[in-house]
Amino acid sequence: MNKSPIILGIETSCDETAVSIIQDHESGVPKILSNIVSSQFDIHKEFGGVVPELAARSHVEKINLIAKKALDESGLNINKISAVAATAGPGLIICLSVGLNFAKALASSLNVPFIGVNHLEGHALSPKLNANINYPYLLLLISGGHSQFLSVNGLDNYTRLGTTIDDALGEAFDKTAKLLGIEFPGGPKLEKFAKKGNPNKFNLPKPIINKGGCNLSFAGLKTAILRITKNIKLDQEKYDLAASFQKTIEEILHVKTEIAFQEFRNINSTKKSNFIIAGGVAANDGIRKKLSEVSKKNNFVPIFPDLKLCGDNAAMIALVGLEKYKIKKFDSFDLIASPRLALDKKAKFLKGSGLVY
């Protein structure tokens, strides 16, 4: 086995075609040799959301070019690749299949192992691309499709502490943005609107704030926003609503994070632990500041991935590939895409407020 393995990672689970090449390093933090992400915002924005068929077609058109770009940028000869890793799920099945099939063909032609990766595990481990972080750590994963608190105990070893019972946080940002007339994906722009508004103008609900442990719920918030947007017209009112939404989210995360801290400490006996905030919504400046404050107050060390590693990327997929390569956890070419893959496989499916007690 190569002493400093080099992994080529591929990500096509949704609307980003991404390829990255990373190399193991003695410091424990792998070197990112290239990390190319091609987003499809322009294709989907007129539909207000991702259209699976268009996304898959675009992946097919671009994957070869993006892989070539990643290879050129790394300066490597293709024969130096030790293994090829690709997202196997969760995500849109026809999109996942494009990356998986490309990865299998490449691995087969290079005669190197092929490794299927859980996209969520990519987000969960992503801060390890910036720093050497030991297990266990507490993770808040906030993306367009998921919102979960987890104890990350090791590779493929997770204990879910809380999850959303309805919408994901990124989805709540995108839906609120849409109601305010902001084009898809609205999360980052909504944050900019919020900076121009009065956060105390609208009093919004905080669903299940006093029950359900560190489980989360955002659907009621969206309904309240829908009601308010029917009666507002001025730009300043939209800024105020965005600011009130941002503040409410920060308050919900504040309360739920403190509960998660307690639950994490109940199962891990560490005095000072790392708290990783990952996924697309971890790019939100206000959330970063609020969760940094809350962490310090509770003796946790807050860690955020680099901004370019918060959203979907292939470096995080290559990273999981690298960890699996080191323990020779390879997959056969029979592996198929799984639209639903969890991190904690024992955790119950929790959807609907009736399930929170």
Footprint on this chain of ligand KG4 (rule: CB under 6 A): 143-145, 170, 173-174, 185, 187-188, 191, 279-281, 283-284, 311-312
- Token pair, residue 64, equals 């070869």
**151 near 138, Cβ under 8 Å?**
yes
CB closer to ligand KG4 out of 311 and 321 = 311
**238 near 195, Cβ under 8 Å?**
no
Alpha helices for 180-218 (secondary structure H): 187-194
Chain position whose Cβ is nearest to ligand KG4: 280
Q: Which does 225 bind (CB under 5 to 8 A by kind): Zn ion, ligand KG4, none?
A: none
The answer to whether 143 contacts Zn ion (rule: CB under 5 A) is yes
Specify the residue for token string 């442990």. Answer: 213
The answer to whether 17 contacts Zn ion (rule: CB under 5 A) is no
- DSSP type of residue 1: -
Q: Which does 24 bind (CB under 5 to 8 A by kind): Zn ion, ligand KG4, none?
A: none
Q: Which does 161 bind (CB under 5 to 8 A by kind): ligand KG4, Zn ion, none?
A: none
Cβ at position 305, least distance to ligand KG4 in Å? 10
CB closer to ligand KG4 out of 312 and 323 = 312
Cβ at position 213, least distance to Zn ion in Å? 24
Question: Would you give the distance in Å from CA 171 to the centre of its chain?
Answer: 12
Burial code (b: 16+ CB inside 10 Å, e: under 16) for 220-241 equals bbbebbeebbeeeeeeebbbbb
CB closer to Zn ion out of 312 and 331 = 312
**152 near 160, Cβ under 8 Å?**
no
Binding segment toward Zn ion, per CB under 5 A, in 27-35, 143-151, 209-217, 348-356: 143-151
Question: For residue 238, which of 169, 273, 190, 270 has the smallest C-alpha distance?
Answer: 190
Side-chain half-sphere exposure of 282, counting CA atoms within 13 A: 30
Cβ at position 171, least distance to ligand KG4 in Å? 6
CB closer to Zn ion out of 14 and 224 = 14
Cβ at position 284, least distance to ligand KG4 in Å? 3
Site for Zn ion in 281-340 (CB under 5 A): 312
Phi, psi of 86 (to 5 degrees): -145, 150
Query: Does residue 136 have a cis bond before it (omega within 30 degrees)?
Result: yes
Report the interface residues with Zn ion, using CB under 5 A.
143, 312
